[in-house]
């Protein structure tokens, strides 16, 4: 559906009012919302209800206003404005990639015990345009460098600045690790009461469920015990160290640790937190490799491939999915092979390799049908629908979308079903069936709201 001018119908007026309310709540001008994609006059007309935006335009506006699309599509007049997300949602750019590479280089040098070289690399980033997340990482890594160099006061200053940024950005994960780093610096300075106070902040975060990493929990318990020992508080020291010993016994098992990280990755992925989903998937892969569990390693490689695809990094996605497929073939694991081929079909499409995409989608369909796994069959149909759409077999694509939804409904799989609705909506939008697309998109959002998921 293209942008439609003018009849001031009630839904368009309500939609425009919601967009204006969200814009004002975010303290944005119409020009800031328009950016380069829209004109100011277009945004103004949308807000007055004179134009009803296409679904693609509406998704872009929702993203810029940091408001879920479901709220803009509500039937009633209420619309809560959610708090701003913890990290910027800026599009990738050469500048972002360069900043990420510099930060990564600094971290690698730090891990190689080359802190002076790392400082030289990281300090060159001070003059660059950094996102809040990148600024936090810069201060964090510099603090670790200075700590390694024995410059405790400089390290403390950097960690305090990083904590301030993490709290301002609402990044609870970074905040937790930074308080742990700050506690370690105070301990190195023999300021044991101050160190204990930082570790207790970490313990509060664990109790509230905002910090779930078992290695983080182990480190906090150990340090609380150690600082209490330094302060002569032997009873709380023994209690914390005993808890740490119990937890350490669980963490020594790499397969159990890998399973914990895998669960965390899955949880964050279902919440739309791609960054943390990827981080915990990487940790899970490393733990399973240590455990020698090849089946679970294959599953993690499949997950990493899909996460890299979401991050628009097709080369990395391709490597991980091909690795997952090769491992599944060696183990004669049809489920793992079907998952990998489904993911590969989408990546091949993004790369314009339609013949490879067709072969991968067909293989995913064959394997899924043999397994009689409704979720796997639904997702395979979804991949095949994308391939058929790309090859202009529109009737076949529509049938595959509908079959995918049918299988996923049967399996009562909320998250994949919601994704199927969303992709089917995008397909209908492309085919000029705007009303159907809108109805399908509403089903996706309603399903996610009922399941407590986020897009």
Of the two residues 132 and 389, the one the predictor is more confident about is 389
- What's the pLDDT at 455? 47
pLDDT band for 61, please (50, 70, 90 cuts). confident
Residues in the chain: 455
| All structural domains of the chain | 4-72 (1.10.260.40), 99-249 (1.25.40.10), 255-408 (1.25.40.10)
> With pLDDT > 70 as the criterion, what percentage of the chain qualifies?
86
pLDDT band for 269, please (50, 70, 90 cuts). confident
CA gap 128, 422 in Å, rounded: 37
Q: Are 385 and 397 in contact (CB under 8 A)?
A: yes
Of the two residues 136 and 301, the one the predictor is more confident about is 136
Of the two residues 217 and 77, the one the predictor is more confident about is 217
- What's the pLDDT at 202? 94
- Lowest-pLDDT range, 140-144, 198-202, 261-265, 381-385? 261-265
> With pLDDT > 90 as the criterion, what percentage of the chain qualifies?
26
CA–CA distances in Å: residue 357 to residues 113, 317, 333, 380, 421: 44, 14, 21, 12, 21
- pLDDT tens-digit readout, 314-358: 888 888 888 888 888 877 888 889 989 999 998 998 889 999 999
CA gap 142, 120 in Å, rounded: 10
User: What is the DSSP annotation of 175-204?
Assistant: HHHHHHHHHHHHHHTT-HHHHHHHHHHHHH
In the predicted model, what is the mean pLDDT of residues 208-214? 87
Stated as kind and residue range, the H or E segment containing 89 is none
- What's the pLDDT at 2? 41
pTM over 0.75: no
In the predicted model, what is the mean pLDDT of residues 170-193? 89
Of the two residues 310 and 184, the one the predictor is more confident about is 184
- pLDDT tens-digit readout, 115-127: 999 999 999 988 8
Count Cα atoms within 13 angstroms, Cβ side, for 379.
25
In the predicted model, what is the mean pLDDT of residues 290-307? 69
Of the two residues 305 and 217, the one the predictor is more confident about is 217
- What's the pLDDT at 290? 66
Of the two residues 250 and 29, the one the predictor is more confident about is 29
């Amino acid at each position: 559906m293209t942008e439609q001018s003018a009849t001031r119908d009630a839904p368009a007026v309500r939609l425009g009012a919601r967009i204006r309310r969200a814009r004002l709540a975010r303290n944005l001008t119409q020009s800031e919302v328009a950016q380069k994609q829209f004109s100011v006059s277009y945004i103004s007309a949308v807000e007055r209800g004179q134009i009803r935006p296409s679904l693609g335009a509406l998704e872009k506006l929702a993203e810029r206003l940091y408001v879920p699309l479901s709220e803009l599509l509500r039937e009633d007049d209420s619309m809560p404005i959610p708090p701003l997300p913890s990290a910027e949602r800026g599009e990738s750019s050469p500048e972002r990639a360069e900043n990420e590479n510099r930060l990564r280089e600094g971290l690698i040098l730090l891990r190689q015990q080359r802190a002076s070289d790392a400082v030289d690399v990281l300090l060159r980033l001070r003059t660059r345009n950094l996102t809040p997340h990148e600024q936090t990482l810069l201060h964090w890594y510099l603090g670790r460098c200075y700590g390694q160099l024995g410059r405790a006061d400089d390290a403390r200053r950097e960690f305090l600045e990083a904590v301030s940024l993490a709290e301002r950005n609402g990044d609870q994960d970074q905040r937790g690790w930074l308080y742990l780093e700050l506690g370690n610096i105070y301990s190195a300075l023999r300021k044991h009461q101050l160190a204990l106070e930082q570790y207790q902040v970490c313990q509060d975060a664990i109790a509230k469920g905002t910090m779930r990493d078992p290695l983080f929990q182990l480190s906090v318990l150990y340090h609380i015990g150690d600082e209490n020992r330094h302060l002569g508080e032997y009873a709380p020291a023994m209690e914390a160290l005993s808890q740490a010993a119990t937890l350490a016994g669980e963490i020594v098992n790499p397969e159990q640790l890998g399973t914990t990280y895998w669960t965390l990755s899955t949880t964050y992925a279902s919440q739309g937190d791609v960054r943390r989903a990827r981080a915990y998937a990487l940790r899970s892969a490393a733990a399973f490799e240590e455990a020698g569990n090849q089946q679970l390693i294959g599953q993690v490689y499949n997950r990493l491939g899909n996460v890299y695809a979401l991050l628009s990094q097709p080369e990395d996605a391709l490597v991980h999915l091909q690795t997952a497929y090769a491992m599944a073939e060696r183990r004669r694991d049809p489920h793992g092979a079907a998952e990998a081929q489904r993911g590969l079909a989408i990546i091949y499409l993004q790369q314009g390799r339609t013949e490879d995409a067709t072969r991968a989608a067909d293989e995913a369909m064959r394997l899924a049908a043999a397994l009689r796994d409704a979720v796997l069959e639904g997702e395979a149909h979804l991949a095949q629908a994308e391939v058929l759409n790309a090859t202009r077999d529109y009737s076949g694509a529509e049938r595959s979308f509908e079959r995918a939804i049918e299988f996923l409904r049967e399996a009562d799989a909320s998250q994949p079903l919601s994704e199927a609705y969303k992709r089917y909506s995008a397909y209908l939008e492309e085919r000029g069936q705007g009303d159907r697309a809108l109805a399908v998109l509403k089903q996706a959002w309603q399903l996610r709201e009922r399941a407590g998921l986020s897009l």
